[in-house]
Structure 1
Amino acid sequence: MLLPFSYAIVSGAVGSCLVLFAKSLSNLLRLSMSGGYQLHSWFTYSMLLLFLSTASFWMARLNEGLSLFDAILIVPMFQIAWTFFSICTGFVYF
């Protein structure tokens, strides 16, 4: 019972970081559209790299958990973990 729980928790925690990086990228895009050119900054490329790496790890980990265990077990635990960690990272970010 602990192994499917770990797949869901890790996937939810990484998924919440993905939300945080997507928010940062959307803010950088909004700044670029309002006149500030953000493509010269190292921060933009680090956010893009973090976004892509967390997205690929999140999907791979979630799909691996779904292939090993029943979806009725993984999906609810993942949703709870993702919501909880998204609230926590949003609290820190804002």
Structure 2
Amino acid sequence: MKRITSLTETGMHVLPSTGSYVPVEDYFLVDESLDLRGRFVLGDGGHADLTVKDMLVDPDSKRVAMIELSDGRRLPIEHVRLQGSYVRIES
């Protein structure tokens, strides 16, 4: 399973971080196949009941730091893995 963190700035000016994250659309993903938005999230039972709503970037590191799920929860990217076309959350 792949880690999802690599991106480059689009040229838009990003203000210094205030501890908050910015939406990924302010950046270009280095590998578009790692765009998680809209993908189903596999739960513990192996079924998908949520989707990835957005990917959030830490402007200081210019890396994807979190994902936002369709239920509004935000999870650190360190716990996110790709499994085929699905997203799996590891604890």
Asked if Structure 1 and Structure 2 have the same fold, meaning a TM-score greater than 0.5 normalized by the shorter chain, the answer is no
Larger Rg: 1
Which has the larger helix fraction?
1
Between structures 1 and 2, the one with greater strand share: 2
TM-score by length of 1: 0.25
Taking CA–CA contacts closer than 8 Å with sequence separation of 6 or more, which of the two structures ends up with the larger relative contact order? 1
